């Protein structure tokens, strides 16, 4: 039973990270190039800055995940919130992809017994489950900001990535009643496809 729970946890964690990446990517894809680096106020971060910060965090946290402190000595966190004027959208996206590749390269090979291990983050001991949950919560927080900004910029042109307003009953009917295995990626894809179909229908 314990191994089943641990296997299910790892599967769900991986699926959740993939779903959040898809959510962010679909929001980013709706941005116009000149919106990518826009801050809505002086204290806010642009989508590009948020992506740079997340990628920097991923590279630090997931490189040698089981064997080194997640806060690497060569990480400069403060610099993640500053973009060089010469930095292009393509540069940020390439760095973003590098961060996610690092995450999946570390998470994919984990086995149930690895959940018994302990890793360090800034010198503090974390069970592997704690470390994974910490990053999942952190990334969900910032990806929510990315989606918020993309939706703000697109306004009425926004293609919904979740169940559209007042369409919950229709979405439930769209899913059908057949039993199916819970999967974060599939849940996200279903909601995004439903939203896209409803927008096309309303035109």
Please give the full DSSP string across 125-170, using - where no structure is assigned.
EEEHHHHHHHHHHHHHHHHHHHHHHHHHHHGGG---SSPPTT-HHH
Range of the domain at 70: 2-158
Q: How many angstroms separate the CA atoms of 129 and 20, rounded?
A: 18
| Phi-psi region at 179: left, alpha or beta (left = phi > 0; alpha = psi -120 to 50) | beta
CATH assignment at residue 68: 1.20.120.450
**More confident of the two residues 168 and 143:** 143
Query: Same domain, yes or no, for 79 and 18?
Result: yes
Query: Same domain, yes or no, for 43 and 97?
Result: yes
**Residue 68 DSSP one-character state:** S
> What count of Cα atoms within 13 Å lies in the side-chain half-sphere of residue 84?
5
| In contact, 75 and 56? CB cutoff 8 Å | yes
Per the structure, the count of domains in the chain is: 2
Q: How many angstroms separate the CA atoms of 150 and 159, rounded?
A: 10
pLDDT score, position 139: 98
| Chain centroid to CA 115 | 22
Query: Same domain, yes or no, for 175 and 124?
Result: no
The tens digit of pLDDT for each residue in 61-120 reads 999 999 999 999 999 999 999 999 899 999 999 999 999 999 999 999 999 999 999 999
Residues in the chain: 203
Query: Same domain, yes or no, for 165 and 153?
Result: no
Asked if pLDDT for residue 157 goes beyond 50, the answer is yes
Query: Same domain, yes or no, for 147 and 70?
Result: yes
pLDDT score, position 165: 74
The tens digit of pLDDT for each residue in 25-36 reads 999 999 999 899
Query: Same domain, yes or no, for 197 and 123?
Result: no
Q: How many angstroms separate the CA atoms of 170 and 184, rounded?
A: 20
pLDDT score, position 195: 66
Query: Same domain, yes or no, for 99 and 178?
Result: no
Q: How many angstroms separate the CA atoms of 194 and 175, rounded?
A: 9
Q: How many angstroms separate the CA atoms of 80 and 61, rounded?
A: 14
Query: Same domain, yes or no, for 179 and 103?
Result: no
Asked if pLDDT for residue 200 goes beyond 90, the answer is no
Asked if pLDDT for residue 175 goes beyond 90, the answer is no
pLDDT band for 183, please (50, 70, 90 cuts).
low
Query: Same domain, yes or no, for 55 and 21?
Result: yes
Query: Same domain, yes or no, for 109 and 135?
Result: yes
pLDDT band for 172, please (50, 70, 90 cuts).
confident
Query: Same domain, yes or no, for 17 and 83?
Result: yes
Query: Same domain, yes or no, for 46 and 22?
Result: yes
Q: End-to-end alpha-carbon separation of the chain, Å?
A: 51
């Amino acid at each position: 039973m314990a191994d089943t729970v641990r296997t299910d946890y790892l599967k769900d964690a991986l699926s959740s990270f993939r779903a959040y990446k898809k959510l962010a990517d679909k929001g980013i894809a709706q941005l116009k190039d000149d919106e990518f680096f826009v801050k809505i106020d002086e204290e806010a971060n642009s989508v590009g800055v948020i992506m740079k910060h997340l990628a920097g965090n991923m590279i630090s946290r997931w490189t040698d995940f089981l064997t080194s402190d997640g806060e690497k000595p060569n990480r400069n966190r403060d610099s993640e919130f500053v973009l060089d004027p010469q930095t292009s959208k393509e540069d940020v996206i390439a760095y973003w992809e590098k961060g996610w590749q690092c995450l999946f390269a570390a998470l994919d090979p984990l086995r149930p017994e690895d959940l018994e291990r302990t890793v360090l983050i800034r010198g503090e001991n974390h069970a592997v489950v704690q470390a994974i949950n910490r990053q999942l919560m952190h990334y969900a927080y910032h990806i929510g900001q990315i989606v918020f900004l993309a939706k703000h910029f697109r306004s009425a042109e926004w293609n919904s990535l979740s169940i559209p307003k007042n369409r919950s009953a229709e979405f439930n009917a769209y899913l059908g009643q057949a039993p199916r295995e819970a999967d974060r990626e599939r849940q996200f894809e279903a909601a995004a496809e439903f939203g896209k179909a409803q927008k096309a229908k309303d035109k």
